[in-house]
Amino acid sequence: MRPMHGPGSMGGPPPMGRPHGGMPPKPDIHPQKAPADDLFADDFSDREFDLKQMETESEEMLCMKLLNRQNAAFQKTSGGGLFLTFQDISYEDVQLVETFPFTDPYVYLSVRNSKGKKKEIGMIADLETDFDAGTISLIKDYLDQHYHMPVIEKIVRAKENGGYTDFTVLTNFGETQFSLHANSSHITALSEKRLIIQDLENNRFEIPDRNTLSARELKMLDVFL
């Protein structure tokens, strides 16, 4: 997906000015608009809302900073993290979040500061078109580590264990085990074929096409579907 707007910002607020209608004839109730500064002047004396600050926050929220090869550079840190230079500001050990991890893992990546409130620094609208091959590879490696999702090739066995079911599966990374609770929604059907399993420890496993599973394997999953 390509960004809809140019780099630096996206979208904009609706018209700020309020159109004014004419005064209605009596007996309609149509109070005059009061100057904003006078409103709640004494009743809300502690000024719980700072209007200027709120406007600034609104504008900040509205603004979506987009990172691309012109304004951002990523480097790998010695600890395996990512170092970012964006608009001449350096950020150590930034975090990347996939906002659409299942359907479009490389679009609208949220780049976040790892310190403090972990505020968003900006977003990568489309990794594969907005950066060079080296950066793409660097970021994909990072994402592969942080969004490790083995693909289940075979369900070896499922064993009921006091309200939990222990699965032994064969994945593209080898054989592994995970547990699911009998009464929870652990499996998300992303399409008629594609399933995502989230185990009790929040690990994710993918079944790209449930139709490739045997009847015996489907039977083991059936209670969770």
Partner 1 sequence: MDEKKKKTHSMLRILTYFRPYMPHLTLMLLCYLAIAGLNLVWPYLNGTVLYDKILVKNQDFLKKLGLDGSAFTEGLLLVVLAMLATKLLTLVFQILQGIISACIVPDVVSRLKSSVFDSMGRLSLDYFQNSQTGTLMTRILSDADRVTSFFTDILPGLITNSFTFIATLIIMFTLHAKLAAVSLCLLPILLFLNAKLLPRLFHLFGNRHRAERDMNVRINDNITGARVVKAFGKEQEETRRFDKYNSAVCKAEMDIVCFDNKFQALYTFVQDISSLAVWSFGAYFILCAAGSGIRVGLLITFASYVTQLKGPLVFLSHTLRVWTDSFSSAERMFEIIDAKPQVTEKKEAAPFTFREGTIRLRHVTFGYNPHTPVLHDLNLTIPGGQMLGIVGRSGAGKSTLVNLISRLYDPQQGQILIDGTDIADIRFCDLRRYIAVVSQETYLFMGTIAENIAYARPDASKAEIIRAAKLAGAHDFICRLPDGYETVTGSSGKALSGGERQRLSIARAILADPKILILDEATASVDTETEKQIQTSLEYLTKGRTTLSIAHRLSTLRHADSLIVLDHGHIIESGTHRELKKKRGTYYKLLTLQTKALAMKGLE
Nearest to 81 by CA among 96, 61, 63: 96
Q: Establish if 43 lies at the interface with partner 1 (CB under 8 A).
A: yes
Contact window for partner 1 (CB under 8 A) among 1-9, 128-136, 171-179, 212-220: 1-9
Which C-beta is closer to partner 1: that of 91 or that of 217? Answer: 91
Out of 8, 170, 204, 208, point to the residue binding partner 1 (CB under 8 A): 204
Out of 11, 116, 134, 174, point to the residue binding partner 1 (CB under 8 A): 11
Distance of alpha carbon 89 from alpha carbon 86, whole angstroms: 5
Sheet arrangement for strand 89-98: 72-76, 82-86, 89-98, 107-112, 120-126
Out of 114, 137, 177, 188, point to the residue binding partner 1 (CB under 8 A): 188
Distance of alpha carbon 111 from alpha carbon 128, whole angstroms: 15
Distances (CA, A) of 123 to 68, 114, 182, 183: 9, 15, 38, 37
* Mode of pairing for the β-strands spanning 195-198 and 89-98: unpaired
The least CB distance from residue 154 to partner 1, in Å, is 25
User: Would you tell me which residues interact with partner 1 (CB under 8 A)?
Assistant: 1, 3-5, 10-11, 13-22, 24, 27-34, 36, 38-41, 43-44, 46, 48-49, 54-55, 57-58, 61-62, 64, 97-104, 107-108, 110, 112, 119-120, 123, 125, 185, 188, 190, 198, 202, 204
